[in-house]
Structure 1
Amino acid sequence: MKQLILTLSIVCLFLFVGRTQDNIVPSPDLYGVGDWDADSLGNHRVVVKVYDNTDLVWAHIPWRRRDAQPENKSIIVVDATTNKMVKNNYPVAVNREFGDILFQPQTVPGEYYIYYLKYQQHGRSNYPKVTYPKLSNEAEPTWLKEAKATSKDLGAQPKAELVQFQSIDPFNSFYPMEVIATQNEVSQLLKEHGDTDYLLFPETRENSIRMTKDLPFKWIQDGVSNQFSAKALKGEYFTFQLGCFAAQNAIEDIKVEFSSLNHRGTPVVEAGEFTCFNTEGIDWEGKPFAKVCSVAKGQVQALWIGLQIPLEIEAGEYEAVITVKPKQMAEQQVTLKLAISEVAVLAAGDNEPERLSRLRWLNSRIAEDDGIVAPYSALELDGNTVKCLGRQVAFGEDGFPESIQSYFSESVTKIQGSGKELLAAPVKLVVETAEGTSKWTKPSFKLIKQKEGAIAWELQNEMPGFELEGKAQMEFDGNINYQLVLTATKDMELNDIRLEIPYQQAAAKYMMGLGYKGGFRDENIKWKWAVEKNQDGPWIGTVNAGLQARFTDNHYARPLNTNFYQDKPLYMPDSWYNEGKGGINITSEKSGSVLLNSYSGKRKVKKGDQLHYYFNLLITPFRPIDTNKHWHNRYYHSSQPVDTALAHGANTINLHHANKINSFINYPFFIPERMKAYIDEAHDKDAKVKIYYTVRELTNKAPELFMLRSLGDEIFSNGNGGGFSWLQEHLDSNYIAAWFVPSIKDAALVNTGISRWHNFYIEGLNWLVTNVGIDGVYIDDLAFDRTSMKRIRKVLERGNPGALIDLHSANQFNPRDGFANSANLYLEHFPFIDRLWFGEYFDYNLPPDFWLIETSGIPYGLMGEMLQDGGNPWRGMVFGMTGRAPRVNVTPLWNAWDDFKIEESEMIGYWDSNNPVKVNSKDTYATAYVRKGKQMLIALATWAKKDDAVKLKIDWDAIGIDQANAELYAPAIDGFQQEKSWMPNDRIVVPQGKGFLIVVREKE
């Protein structure tokens, strides 16, 4: 009966709202698509038809627009027959509900197009700025005067017939979920339900709830309901929505509860199999969490619900009761009536993105374990000493490191028997009062976890005025994380709380971070916290032994990076930052050590106050450099036919996005059969295929987009909106526009730094490995944490052993990006990737120490490639780096490698004291690739400001070649060098900015 009354009320409403709605009810036939140039006229138009031959015709358009202030946007009238603009037009009234427009028809009878969201695009094509021109009028003055006079009595004018609302394509359509209800309709609805705080509107997954500030007219038609009927398949992960309209009052928080799914009164699926994604979830670390879901008065919140239908379930009719429980409001129930068919669906429906079954991926715990990945070995615990691959850490009774040793060779290509000590003294946390430094009196160190990939312990200690409790964990890649909580046991004034890390002088040769480019360490460094700087700690070390220290607290949130850092900068940690008093000093001590002092400065504490001092230590290198793999895997970075890549000599293809195989950024699921066919062809020809797939931003084409938006700022970063027209017209505001591809109109949004989307991403990666056969991923800058990266590596290795990850980054050492060193920023991920590609804006004219520390990857167990302007191939070879095909022609250089048989060689860098080649110049450097007893390849390059004439001193015994019968030969390499030869004692003139590849061999 109530539903009948509501229906009659709506019918009466249409009869009495007058010309505002013109008795036109939105329906599927009223909305279609057209074909026109959107960049010239916008994405939307109204088609009307004129039958009267007159100077003035009235078009009444009940468009029900979701955009704000439509009266400020231009309106264009075009004669459909001639395609000419009708300048004589006059918008009499324009608002969100309707528009009244007078115009002078040219072709009668004839159709006319009225474009009402014309936009103008400015700025960089991949980051467009789109504006909407204001309403203007170019009508002839005489006609305009008559039109204005006539506008006072529109009902007396000949009227154009409304034919259809059109969008440029279905994706741009507003129907049905963005066609707004009018104020009168909403008022009537509120009147009907005046005693109800909130109203519920069940909705299918096909009609994602898109608006938060308006009701869709569809809900006026459908009405409020406490029942929802739907169909599902066996084995499907079934999703749907409840739209919650805060009709009378704001809702502080919503909880959603479920009954079991019943069949003929018998429970079949337990209530726990339901989930409401908007009120609960599993985070990226596998931890359950509850979400506060609030709704402002007059606004709409989508409640997305999911249920796994068992594959073995009996077909038939099922029911469940969903209880919506807003805080301090009466609960409401919705009965779900689910008809389950005999048909079963594969993979829960994941192979069909439009089913939105993949939403369950948001709560995935895949690869969330303490297992290890190659080439790492299980952690070994011997007393208080923990060993990981190539390194070992001895912990004192307080739980802090007192010794850190690295066993990597100087060229980082192997692990050796003797270790290199990093620390000059134990790491310690120091508390200093006015009376001086306080002493810790009750150290306690208790093991709480021992797995192959992680060993964890608890710390406790005391001193006058403070109790310390904390947790620490060391993992198989050499990462050590500390979470310390200091609780004041009395009121105190403190001079400082600081962490001291004393480095051995020999292990503190280089540094990057804290506003310093990678390279030789300055003697004394003073740094202060500042939100403008994406900096929270340095890496200090030498090539084969180093330690990164980063400082955070319990409120840490990963900032955005690259172009978006200023939109969500680094959170200043309360403990270390201390209202600007904190900082880091790095000083050379009289004892010969180098002290890193992370201090927090003076502060007052009261009894019971807690201070969270969190920090992270990361020991480098992570693994021996696998030079054979580096020489063997030859990258082709372009979406071209497989044979094109192979013709260049490549065997590893990176499929970028914005192509016919991998179309939309970070959502490679639309055409998997095409991608699989390409990959299968590559595999048949002994090549690998990796794809562009990461999480920094997400295409607007993702079917889950509006559901993700319903999660507030959990998945997408808050921002000022803007960007491409589709974003502005369908999302309104509160987002950050990201990368845009004009050719396919792929408009991305920026993700938050870290979220449940990482779970979805990793599940998606697993799906791609399993169903498509990808051989890895190309990651374009990193927007996730090391926990997610570990999971990514595990998924790849477990699904496709030998899969590869390469990381590209632009140089972020600039004001916009917070003067971050890309290598330092992403160092925590390096243990799990295979190659670096650094990158746009890197200056390859900087000194060799910059190359070594910040671009080569060598001190961390990696190797890399160059990008900006193709790089410098001569200097690059000193570090084993080239440009990447087809951006540069690497084929001749690859052929030279093969002629030399570089895969059989040992790489010994200029930084290695065992290098058998010495150069008598401070500006020219040599790296040796030694095939002992056979040949040696010398990569020689100069950083001198002019040609440099040098002599080489070669340790002939070390390379096993007879000097008396040796020659130095530079083979002809197209684009690199002409053929040339020297005798061992000859001077070699190295051209400015260039170098040679010289084969040292015995004469035949």
Structure 2
Amino acid sequence: MKTYIKTALLCSLLPFHMWAQEGVTNAFEDLQRTGVVAEESSVMRDFASPSEVATLLKSLPASGYFCFAEDRMHDIRVYDSIPRRWLQKDPSLRNVVSDNASPGEFFTWQIGVYAPSENIDDVIVLFDDFVNEKGQRIKKENITCFNQEGVGADGKKFSKKLQVAKGTVKPLWCGVQLPTNASGVYTGKAIVRNAAGKESPVMIQLKVSGEALPNNGTNEGWRKSRLSWLNSTIGRANTPTAPYTNLSVEKTKINYLGGYLELGSSGLPKAIVTKYDRSNQLNDNSINNVLAQQMNFVIETNNGVQQLKGSAPRFIRKEGGMVVWESKASNKDFAVTYTGKMEFDGFVNYQIEVEAKQNVEVKDIRLEVPYTDYASQFIMGMGLQGGTRKGKTLDWKWNTEKHQDKIWMGNVNAGLNFVFKGDNYNRPLVNIYYSKGKLNLPSSWGNENKGGVKVTDTADNVLLTAYCGARTMTKGQREKFNFEMLITPVKPLDMAT
């Protein structure tokens, strides 16, 4: 069965109303009409026959692999077959992209790397400057291959070497930022190189003319200039957006727009207060305590609850949009590192790493969150339909067949939403697609489905407990008990709308 490339930017690259173009499929309109994407008639799905491929292999380059240049209008969608259109070209033109472009455009193209007889390891793509007939240059720093370099989801730059499996085609998407005053015919070269240093060149010829395009051409989806957004850092600055205000720190208290979070000695919150009235408007006279007592992270063995000694939380980063702190605690059996991060909208992320100093039998490791009665009037998640908490019980166990890893409990103007995660967390797909991208069971909280979450009433509070159950930890073993916590409400209600 053929393997199809999943186009990550489908939603942004193909706008709902695309200008009619020969050979271009508008996936949204196809789905609206028929419920399927009609691309079977694409020339990129007219594959070369075995005899045609055999003829091609007689002209195998010295590099031991082929590089086929392809324009942006013909997406390489299949890995295990060669489009016939590549073989129908004159051999001298198979590695040439020749196209029209506009000044200011972020121009994109593809390179299809075909490995006919063996794996190709450590593939990299190098670029020369693009030069026009006037000698004007586009520096190679303005040219990129998205597969091998860019800006990751964490906002940090990355680079990597690529692999092409035997018998497959790997599409490499490339792009160049054209100056707004560019004109003439620019010629450049991309060089594909493998681990052995064997190279295969691809020539690019761009005839640049006309008016400069606004927004680098991203207004028109067919240009695929929006691929440049993959490397965007917009929104990465740690500055609040309206109506949020800068975070401020007073000793162990972190103030944000909706109230404050105060850290206890372990680095976990000992107080969370919101300042919203019952209409979800900010009011300094409204003091809503979410926690009845300090949150606790408990390690219990057959010898009882472990007593750990450590240092007070230390702030390691203070910015208007984000504050980060760390604390550590240990005893003869365990070392625990707490790393917390709070953002300007009340989002809090905790990473708690537990390391065993020796082989030890663990009875349970758990997070205890004592809510006030006021901040536990309503509950939703982990199988519970949203509504009042009174009369409802929660005794939930991990089961990745169900999309359940979140629990919210609170009142209209004070609450917490939790997401429990492990070090192997990947955001799952949703609704009918969940079966194609399920939650990963965290080895920490999940513990082979022994873990879960309980909500119980006590004499003093309403206690939410996330636990992992019994386990054996060997010397040097580390487990990460990570969780996200969002303080609600997220922002004041806009009464004007």
Q: Normalising to structure 1: TM-score of the pair?
A: 0.44
CA deviation profile, 1:187-244 (whole Å, cap 9, x unmatched): 0111221865321111222333233222122211222655544443322211111111
Give the superposition deviation at 1:185.
1.2
Verify: 1:258 aligned to 2:152, yes or no: no
Number of the residue aligned with 1:376: 244
Verify: 1:473 aligned to 2:331, yes or no: no
Verify: 1:325 aligned to 2:193, yes or no: yes
Q: How does 1:917-932 map to 2 (within 5 A)?
A: none
Q: For 2:384, give the aligned amino acid.
A: Y
Cα separation, 2, equivalents of 1:343 and 1:518: 55
Number of the residue aligned with 2:59: 192
Cα separation, 1, equivalents of 2:326 and 2:135: 48
Cα distance change, pair 497–527 in 1 and its aligned pair in 2 (3 A): same
The SS at the match of 1:305 is: strand
Confirm or deny: 8 A CA contact 1:197 1:329 kept in the other structure: no
Cα separation, 1, equivalents of 2:134 and 2:480: 53
Confirm or deny: 8 A CA contact 1:371 1:452 kept in the other structure: yes
Q: For 2:329, give the aligned amino acid.
A: N
Q: How does 1:760-839 map to 2 (within 5 A)?
A: none
Cα distance change, pair 270–509 in 1 and its aligned pair in 2 (3 A): same
Number of the residue aligned with 2:147: 278
Number of the residue aligned with 1:419: 287
2:305 to 405, 422, 437: 437
2:453 to 584, 609, 621: 584
Verify: 1:516 aligned to 2:384, yes or no: yes
Q: For 1:271, give the aligned amino acid.
A: K
The SS at the match of 1:541 is: strand
Number of the residue aligned with 2:231: 363
Confirm or deny: 8 A CA contact 1:247 1:299 kept in the other structure: yes
Cα separation, 1, equivalents of 2:265 and 2:361: 28
Give the superposition deviation at 1:426.
0.9
Verify: 1:497 aligned to 2:365, yes or no: yes
Give the superposition deviation at 1:573.
1.6
Cα distance change, pair 125–552 in 1 and its aligned pair in 2 (3 A): same
Confirm or deny: 8 A CA contact 2:277 2:286 kept in the other structure: no
Cα separation, 2, equivalents of 1:129 and 1:353: 20
Number of the residue aligned with 1:554: 423
Number of the residue aligned with 2:107: 238
2:318 to 434, 445, 450: 450
Query: Where do 5+ consecutive residues of structure 1 fail to align?
Result: 1-65, 68-123, 131-170, 630-1004
Cα distance change, pair 460–300 in 1 and its aligned pair in 2 (3 A): same
The SS at the match of 1:502 is: strand
Verify: 1:537 aligned to 2:406, yes or no: yes
Q: For 2:425, give the aligned amino acid.
A: Y
Give the superposition deviation at 1:443.
2.4
Number of the residue aligned with 2:16: none
The SS at the match of 1:575 is: coil
Verify: 1:219 aligned to 2:219, yes or no: no
The SS at the match of 1:376 is: coil
Number of the residue aligned with 2:213: 345
Cα distance change, pair 508–348 in 1 and its aligned pair in 2 (3 A): closer
1:247 to 98, 116, 131: 116
Write 1 or 2 for the structure with the bigger share of strand: 2
Number of the residue aligned with 2:488: 620
The SS at the match of 1:320 is: strand
Q: How does 1:32-431 map to 2 (within 5 A)?
A: 174=41, 176-193=43-60, 196-222=63-89, 223=91, 225-262=94-131, 268-290=137-159, 293-313=162-182, 315-327=183-195, 330-341=198-209, 344-431=212-299
Confirm or deny: 8 A CA contact 1:438 1:464 kept in the other structure: no
Q: For 1:330, give the aligned amino acid.
A: K
Cα distance change, pair 463–319 in 1 and its aligned pair in 2 (3 A): farther
CA deviation profile, 1:913-948 (whole Å, cap 9, x unmatched): xxxxxxxxxxxxxxxxxxxxxxxxxxxxxxxxxxxx
Task: Tell me which moved more, 303-312 or 228-237.
Answer: 228-237
Give the superposition deviation at 1:615.
0.7
Cα separation, 2, equivalents of 1:282 and 1:470: 28
Cα separation, 1, equivalents of 2:402 and 2:323: 33
CA deviation profile, 1:773-831 (whole Å, cap 9, x unmatched): xxxxxxxxxxxxxxxxxxxxxxxxxxxxxxxxxxxxxxxxxxxxxxxxxxxxxxxxxxx
Cα separation, 2, equivalents of 1:287 and 1:468: 27
Verify: 1:570 aligned to 2:470, yes or no: no
Write 1 or 2 for the structure with the bigger share of helix: 1
Q: How does 1:673-684 map to 2 (within 5 A)?
A: none
Query: Where do 5+ consecutive residues of structure 2 fail to align?
Result: 4-30
Cα separation, 2, equivalents of 1:483 and 1:185: 56
Q: How does 1:549-948 map to 2 (within 5 A)?
A: 549-590=418-459, 592-629=460-497
Q: For 1:360, give the aligned amino acid.
A: S
Cα separation, 1, equivalents of 2:186 and 2:435: 51
Cα separation, 1, equivalents of 2:142 and 2:368: 50
Cα distance change, pair 448–319 in 1 and its aligned pair in 2 (3 A): farther
Confirm or deny: 8 A CA contact 1:444 1:461 kept in the other structure: no
Give the CA RMSD over aligned residues.
3.0
Cα distance change, pair 432–563 in 1 and its aligned pair in 2 (3 A): same
Q: For 1:557, give the aligned amino acid.
A: N
Give the superposition deviation at 1:328.
5.2
Give the superposition deviation at 1:582.
0.7
Give the superposition deviation at 1:341.
4.2
Q: Which protein is bigger by CA-based radius of gyration?
A: 1
Cα distance change, pair 550–256 in 1 and its aligned pair in 2 (3 A): same
Q: For 2:115, give the aligned amino acid.
A: A
Q: How does 1:937-976 map to 2 (within 5 A)?
A: none
2:354 to 479, 486, 491: 486
Give the superposition deviation at 1:385.
0.7
> Which protein, 1 or 2, shows the higher relative CO under an 8 Å CA cutoff with sep ≥ 6?
2
Give the superposition deviation at 1:282.
2.2
The SS at the match of 1:358 is: helix
Cα distance change, pair 459–312 in 1 and its aligned pair in 2 (3 A): farther
Q: Normalising to structure 2: TM-score of the pair?
A: 0.85
